[in-house]
Amino acid sequence: MVLGAMSAPAFAQDAMTDSGDTAWILTASALVLMMTLPGLALFYAGLVRARNVLSVFMHCFAIASIASILWAICGYSLAFGPGSPFLGGLAHVGLANLAQVRDGTAISEPTFALFQMTFAIITPALIVGAFVERVRFGWLVPFMLLWSLFVYVPAARWVWGGGWLAHLGTLDYAGGIVVHTTAGVSALILALLIGKRQGFGHTLILPHSPALTLIGAGMLWVGWFGFNGGSALSASTDAALAILNTHLSAATASLCWIGLERIKLGKPTTIGLATGAVAGLATITPAAGQVGAMGAIVLGLIAGLVCFYAVQLIRNRIGIDDSLDVFAVHGVGGIIGSILLAPLAMTSFGGVGYAEANGMITQLIAQIVGVGAVALWSAIWTVVLALVVSLFLPMRVNADAEREGLDLASHAERGWELD
């Protein structure tokens, strides 16, 4: 009888959660973490010159640690805890007082907090691509800590944490606004603030290892199944639809990109194939659970076309050294997907339709307001935080360190033994 009484609470707790849903979200969490470590790190590392490859890994790994600790201490509580429509309170500081079951799901709140932590990790890591080969590591660490707190956490609250944009009706299935708009806009601002790499616009700066980039892109593609499919928060038909749409959009965008390269440049490239796939993945992210298969293909086609020309516009015509095209791919893709979610969610296009009393125009307005508000918030705080941190720690390495490469100048190591 004593043993039975002692085991009853554990049995009751287990009965409140679904083991299948829990297993899937734990797996999805691992997949999303893999997107950053090592997927994004490999993708970016292959695109820089050989003397800077380790610095990219260093940035991604350091950000993963920074974002994780911040999320555990206060980030989760401020984004998802009880509070105002603009920011949560301190009820879950230190990940305390988490519920046995997250409201509206069949998973525990610690499982939900873990899954959301992986999103908080990859979002600031995406920004790294804007200033590779010239950023000072000592500046990057405090900036990314503050950026996560002042930009990512409020955006997550507004859209996913029951905040004011959620009440307005703004939809963002897996991060077109919260992840890709915040990171993309901030990346463009930082590329302007830090300035161009030495030789940019005068000498050809080539990726040192397309092979690493392709491996990273493949890991991102697979990991994105957890990113979008896990956002269903259940092992369900919704998750299957999100994963199917994710794959179709990436496949379409990658083919579109290399087709444009063949027309414009004469030959398709592996870098173009990888970049196109990521553009398709970013674009489908906000709409993965709202559109049908044909809507996903349409978004992939638009992503390939628009992001391809966005890269040419920003890099070649305007001359901004957003080194690895973070804004043109992630920012533009996330914004496009977030806005086009509204028309493509129509049931006549194979989408899931709208909430009761909502129509396409109402949803479109909510999407535009959501994108605009988060983009403006990201831009303002990125400028403020970058300049404040720069008062104490320089943003950019000196000219000699840039020529030597960040691997040696900042970390006293080499990624490869160079003759």
pLDDT tens-digit readout, 96-110: 999 999 999 999 999
State the distance between the two ends of the chain, measured CA to CA, in whole angstroms. Answer: 75
**Residue 211 confidence class, pLDDT cut points 50, 70, 90:** very high
Model confidence at 313, pLDDT cuts 50, 70, 90, reads: very high
Is the CB of residue 112 less than 8 Å from the CB of residue 79? no
Cβ-proximal residues to 249 (8 Å cutoff; 6+ apart), any chain: 280, 281, 283, 284, 296, 297, 299, 300, 303
Rounded CA gap, 25 and 234, in Å? 7
DSSP H helices in 148-289: 153-160, 164-168, 182-194, 210-229, 237-265, 270-284
pLDDT one-digit tens code per residue, 228-266:
999 999 999 999 999 999 999 999 999 999 999 999 999
- pLDDT for res 418: 60
Give pLDDT tens digits for 14-41: 448 999 999 999 999 999 999 999 999 9
Give the per-residue pLDDT at 9.
34
What's the whole-model pTM score? Answer: 0.94
Cβ–Cβ under 8 Å, residues 220 and 35:
yes
Looking at residue 362, what is its pLDDT?
96
Share of the chain above pLDDT 70, in %: 96
Mean pLDDT, residues 345-356? 92
Angle at 164 (CA atoms; ends 344, 232), nearest 5 degrees? 50
Name the residue ranges covered by the structural domains of the chain. Answer: 23-95+102-411
Q: What is the pLDDT of residue 8?
A: 35
CA distance 98 to 95: 7
How many C-beta neighbours within 10 Å does residue 390 have?
16
- Other C-beta atoms closer than 10 Å to the C-beta of 222 total 14
Let me know: does 347 contact 353? Beta carbons within 8 Å.
yes
The percent of residues above 90 in pLDDT, for the chain, comes to 93
| The CATH classification of domain 23-95+102-411, taken from the options 1.20.1290.10, 3.30.360.10, 1.10.3430.10, 3.40.50.720 | 1.10.3430.10
- Band of residue 202 on the pLDDT scale cut at 50, 70, 90: confident
- Residue 11, exposed/middle/buried by CB under 10 A (0-12, 13-18, 19+)? exposed
List Cα–Cα distances, 128 to 177, 274, 281, 292, in angstroms: 18, 18, 18, 33
- Does 384 score more than 80 pLDDT? yes
